[in-house]
Amino acid sequence: MSDEANPYESLKEQIDDAAAYLDADDGVITRLKNPQRVLETNLTFERDDGSLETVRAYRSQFNGDRGPYKGGIRYHPGVTRDEVKALSGWMVYKCAVVDIPYGGGKGGIAIDPSDYSADELERITRSFATELRPIIGEDRDVPAPDVNTGQREMNWIKDTYETLENTTAPGVITGKALDSGGSEGRVEATGRSTMLAARETFDWLDRDIENATVAVQGYGNAGSIAAALLEDLGADVVAVSDSSGGIYDPDGLRARDVKDHKAETGSVSGYDDAESITNEELLTMDVDLLVPAALENAVDADLATDLEADVVVEAANGPLTPGADDVLTERGVWVVPDVFANAGGVTVSYFEWVQNRQRFHWTEERVNEELERTVTEAFDGIVEAYEDEDLPNLRTAAYVVALRRVVNAYEQGGNWP
Ligand SMILES: NC(=O)C1=CN([C@@H]2O[C@H](COP(=O)(O)OP(=O)(O)OC[C@H]3O[C@@H](n4cnc5c(N)ncnc54)[C@H](O)[C@@H]3O)[C@@H](O)[C@H]2O)C=CC1
Ligand SMILES: O=C(O)CCC(=O)C(=O)O
């Protein structure tokens, strides 16, 4: 993997870019570029035919200076140690930029879940939960969903943990089903903050989100909900894609219908009479707003030179390489960074955890109001840093805000001899 494509190298570069504007000790910055610990483990489980298989899994606890490690668990064949390290580092700065009291963690299993039955996935997940048990906990490390995981996997992890610990501890994991201690609004939260980030940015730029044209790469939890909520604001979602390719309709797709079509057929392809397009065509489409909502490295420096959107709001983690960032900054394309735009997921996870600790259930209205307040306050903080500190782009501004908070928390802890 080239340095440009290694997400952990991207994370370190992003931290260095922001650290240049802070008066922080080099030693502290080095600490904040390296994970505190990474669990790498092998899970052996029984296939339905009775044979045994072993798969690789990770949990990175990047930094806990501001609170328990927090972040999702991903099931994807591309999961590597460096990817999980990067994703856990991004969680640190995400939680800090929206100012929720967590550090950052992330986990993953290097599997393609479509290769396994539901029973096999349950055995894999419970095996991972058993490995995680000594290092997670309501006040220690609180996992959540990410790519290819959701309520079902979170419920299995909660159940395994509680059974082995002989306790009830719903706050050990978030993103659970409602009847298992989940929160209203968590499923929609990542897409909702993406929509709010786009709305606030367009407002700040004095542009109209109503009738803005939108392309969304990746049509899972984050992308499909962002698309639907952007349509609710009056935007025209003209193109969407998933791993099988994309679809385009200049008159606007109907995001919720496309989601139903994907649920029925397994992909967005073949929806209505929309035109088929490639993912590259989608990413370089002449739209007002591009929302990458799939995986890392969707846009590299080469592709960034052809990108025609005016604003990019990152629903995915790490969809732009640092080289792409440089090109887009130079070209005057606004990039609203992942650590802010997709922070709705972890923010509502935090609300879920608070509700679990209080044994109290909030209404969806309350969750969405608190989320909107969190997102708009964070946006104001990023814009203030960008304007007052003469920073090159919104990503560096978000990192300056976040890094300052993490550095302060570390330094206020004082020194061990
Ligand atoms: N689920 C959550 O709460 C959060 C997710 N995120 C990030 O959002 C991104 C997407 O996650 P989810 O929506 O949860 O995952 P998901 O598994 O629900 O959906 C992922 C989607 O991306 C598509 N995809 C994969 N590779 C692609 C490619 N090369 N080109 C186009 N589409 C492709 C898949 O077909 C699928 O539609 C990830 O970067 C994740 O880390 C960030 C914050 C929270
Ligand atoms: O909800 C959470 O705790 C974390 C979600 C996540 O993994 C992310 O924001 O990338």
Between the alpha carbon of residue 38 and those of residues 88, 315, 403, the distances in Å are: 10, 25, 21
| Angle ∠(82,88,89) on CA atoms, nearest 5 | 90
* Cα(49) to centroid(ligand 1), Å: 31
For residue 11, the one-letter residue type is L
Report yes or no: 304 and 281 within 8 Å, Cβ to Cβ: no
Instruction: Answer yes or no: is 94 a known binding residue.
Output: yes
Sign of torsion, CA 245 250 255 258? negative
- Give percent of the chain with pLDDT exceeding 90: 98
CA-nearest residue for atom 1, ligand 2, is 346
- Mean pLDDT for the stretch of residues 274-301: 98
For residue 354, the one-letter residue type is V
Instruction: Answer yes or no: is 70 a known binding residue.
Output: yes
C-alpha–C-alpha distance, residues 290 and 215, integer Å: 5
Q: At what angle do helices 7-19 and 394-412 cross, to 10 degrees?
A: 80
Does the Cβ of 185 fall within 6 Å of ligand 2?
no
- Mean pLDDT for the stretch of residues 202-231: 98
For the cut 90, the answer to whether the pLDDT of residue 192 exceeds it is yes
| Angle ∠(155,342,184) on CA atoms, nearest 5 | 45
* Cα(59) to centroid(ligand 1), Å: 19
In tens, the pLDDT along 295-321 reads: 999 999 999 999 999 999 999 999 999
**In the structure, what pLDDT confidence band is assigned to residue 407 with cuts at 50, 70 and 90?**
very high
Burial class (CB in 10 A: 0-12, 13-18, 19+), 145: buried
Does the Cβ of 190 fall within 6 Å of ligand 1?
yes
For the cut 80, the answer to whether the pLDDT of residue 151 exceeds it is yes
For the cut 70, the answer to whether the pLDDT of residue 3 exceeds it is no
Which atom of ligand 1 lies nearest, measured to the CA of 149? Answer: 17
Report yes or no: 325 and 307 within 8 Å, Cβ to Cβ: no
- Give percent of the chain with pLDDT exceeding 70: 99
**In the structure, what pLDDT confidence band is assigned to residue 1 with cuts at 50, 70 and 90?**
low
Q: Which CATH architecture has domain 187-336?
A: 3-Layer(aba) Sandwich (3.40)
Does the Cβ of 243 fall within 6 Å of ligand 1?
yes
Per-residue tokens: 81: 């140690």
Give the residue numbers marked as catalytic.
Answer: 106
Query: Would you say the pTM of this structure is higher than 0.90?
Result: yes
Q: Residue 191 has what pLDDT? A: 98
Question: To test the ligand 1 pocket, which listed residue (147, 219, 278) has its Cβ within 8 A of the most ligand atoms?
Answer: 147
For the cut 70, the answer to whether the pLDDT of residue 258 exceeds it is yes
Does the Cβ of 345 fall within 6 Å of ligand 2?
yes
Report yes or no: 72 and 82 within 8 Å, Cβ to Cβ: no
Give the residue carrying structure tokens 């004082």: 414
Among the bound ligands, name the one nearest to the CA of residue 224: 1
For the cut 70, the answer to whether the pLDDT of residue 172 exceeds it is yes
- Mean pLDDT for the stretch of residues 253-257: 98
Per-residue tokens: 115: 């290769």
For the cut 90, the answer to whether the pLDDT of residue 81 exceeds it is yes
Domain with CATH 3.40.50.10860 in the chain: 35-169
* Cα(220) to centroid(ligand 1), Å: 5
Phi/psi of residue 86, nearest 5 degrees: -60, -50
Eight-state DSSP code of residue 259: H
Q: Tell me the DSSP string of 268-288.
A: STT-TTPEEE-HHHHHT---S
Report yes or no: 241 and 247 within 8 Å, Cβ to Cβ: yes
For the cut 90, the answer to whether the pLDDT of residue 414 exceeds it is no
C-alpha–C-alpha distance, residues 31 and 372, integer Å: 32
C-alpha–C-alpha distance, residues 170 and 180, integer Å: 8
Instruction: Answer yes or no: is 190 a known binding residue.
Output: yes
| Angle ∠(276,268,233) on CA atoms, nearest 5 | 100
For the cut 70, the answer to whether the pLDDT of residue 46 exceeds it is yes
Phi/psi of residue 410, nearest 5 degrees: -65, -50
Among the bound ligands, name the one nearest to the CA of residue 94: 2
* Cα(221) to centroid(ligand 1), Å: 7
C-alpha–C-alpha distance, residues 261 and 79, integer Å: 28
**In the structure, what pLDDT confidence band is assigned to residue 389 with cuts at 50, 70 and 90?**
very high
Per-residue tokens: 310: 């005016």
Beta strands 213-217; 236-242: pairing state? parallel
Domain with CATH 3.40.50.720 in the chain: 187-336
Eight-state DSSP code of residue 100: -
Q: Residue 2 has what pLDDT? A: 63
Report yes or no: 43 and 116 within 8 Å, Cβ to Cβ: no
Q: Hey, how many other C-beta atoms are within 10 angstroms of the C-beta on 106?
A: 32
Q: Residue 417 has what pLDDT? A: 65
C-alpha–C-alpha distance, residues 133 and 164, integer Å: 8
Among the bound ligands, name the one nearest to the CA of residue 144: 2
Report yes or no: 222 and 342 within 8 Å, Cβ to Cβ: yes
User: What is residue 350's three-state secondary structure?
Assistant: helix
Question: Could you tell me which CATH number the domain at 35-169 has?
Answer: 3.40.50.10860
